[in-house]
Amino acid sequence: MQQIVHDPDRMRALVVEARAAGRRVGFVPTMGALHAGHVSLVTRAARDCDDVAVSIFVNPTQFGPQEDFARYPRTLAADTAQLAPHGVKWIYAPEVSAVYLPGDATRIVVGGPAVRFEGERRPGHFDGVATVVCKLFQAVPADAAYFGAKDWQQTLVVRRMVYDLGLPIEIVVCPTVREADGLAMSSRNAYLSAADRPRAAAISESLRQAEQLWAAGAAAAAIEETMRKTMEAHGIVVDYAALADPESLEPLTADASRAVALVAGRLGSTRLIDNRELRGRGTSEPRSTPDQGLAR
Ligand code: AMP
């Protein structure tokens, strides 16, 4: 039976108590509007851990002033029902005022992997992400936290923060769950109009092309151009379509054997992101998840 907890101190006490009793606790932070991608993280956490906590919190500080904070879907009852069969012990759903206290004046500022791509287009976004993740880890001091590779840059930022601040939590990155046509599952897919929904498949299609071209030895600039054209041909307004180092997100060196392809684009008023790790050229190097060499 899952318990909904709103109070951070209460939440923390429950996790501390479980761990003191020798139980391994897994934590899945989310903003709700849950889908099969989120559930895959929960399933993985339930496999690895004795108890699982899921947070549902739409974090205001990671949204820009012109972004969709107000209209972001809030579906706590449906989310709770969706989690019921998956062995979640606690749903942590704090009020904004319990996370950002009156007079709140503290932020975590992240550089490094936070600087390019989403960091450039969404100023302050990753500072908001790092700040809330750190606060969530205070309320849910779990053994391990589970994040989706869907938000590749976010996983790098979180790992960097955890390493730099010495936070005692393991970060586990799980593969992206996709719809049948390849579209990465996202709470924001619900915004897509019926006409735009099929066009959105061009995002993952462009990443599939990137993978093939990379394996065949094509130049990075040519791959980026192909990705952009594929998306534009389907009416997507491309924010970026780029290859980068999969751990630093710096531009690729000429002899790079590993890369990540990152894309962001808009369909109507919906902004979608996706990525794919590219295997070593001409080799069958296995895909990994981003770890930045920061494992403690
Ligand atoms: P969000 O609710 O969008 O903040 O996402 C919460 C967590 O779920 C993040 O770690 C995301 O990367 C992860 N996530 C979102 N979509 C997917 C997906 N399609 N597959 C796997 N993980 C996902």
Give residue-wise pLDDT tens across range 12-70: 999 999 999 999 999 999 999 999 999 999 999 999 999 999 999 999 999 999 999 99
Question: Which of the listed residues 62, 129, 150, 191 should we mutate to test ligand 1's pocket, taking the one with most ligand atoms within 8 A of CB?
Answer: 150
CA distance 216 to 186: 30
30 in Cβ contact with 76 (< 8 Å): no
Answer yes or no: is pLDDT of 281 > 90.
no
Q: Is the CB of 151 under 6 A from ligand 1?
A: yes
Residues belonging to the active site: 38
Q: Are residues 259 and 191 in the same domain?
A: yes
Distance 21 CA to ligand 1 centre (A): 30
Q: Are residues 36 and 156 in the same domain?
A: yes
Number of domains in the chain: 2
Measuring from atom 17 of ligand 1, which residue has the nearest CA? 37
In the predicted model, what is the mean pLDDT of residues 197-208? Answer: 98
Answer yes or no: is pLDDT of 164 > 60.
yes
Residue 232 belongs to some domain of the structure = yes
Q: Are residues 218 and 86 in the same domain?
A: no
Residue 295 belongs to some domain of the structure = no
Q: What is the pLDDT of residue 236?
A: 98
Q: What percent of the chain has a predicted confidence (pLDDT) above 90?
A: 93
Q: What is the pLDDT of residue 294?
A: 63
Q: What is the pLDDT of residue 293?
A: 55
Q: What is the CATH number of the domain that holds 75?
A: 3.40.50.620
Residue 226 belongs to some domain of the structure = yes
In the predicted model, what is the mean pLDDT of residues 170-197? Answer: 97
Cα end-to-end distance, the chain, whole Å = 34
Q: Is the CB of 185 under 6 A from ligand 1?
A: yes
Residue 284 belongs to some domain of the structure = no
Q: What is the pLDDT of residue 283?
A: 56
Q: What is the pLDDT of residue 296?
A: 47
Residue 163 belongs to some domain of the structure = yes
Q: Is the CB of 184 under 6 A from ligand 1?
A: yes
Q: What is the pLDDT of residue 232?
A: 98
Please write down the long-range contacts of 277-286, taking CB distance under 8 Å and 24 or more positions apart: 277/149, 277/152, 277/246, 278/210, 278/211, 278/214, 278/215, 278/243, 279/211, 279/214, 279/215, 281/214, 281/215, 281/217, 281/257, 282/215, 282/217, 283/257, 285/257, 285/258
Domain hosting residue 210, numbered range: 187-278
In the predicted model, what is the mean pLDDT of residues 249-278? Answer: 96
Distance 145 CA to ligand 1 centre (A): 12
- Other Cβ atoms less than 10 A from the Cβ of 24: the count is 15
Q: Are residues 118 and 192 in the same domain?
A: no
Of 254 and 89, the one with more pLDDT:
89
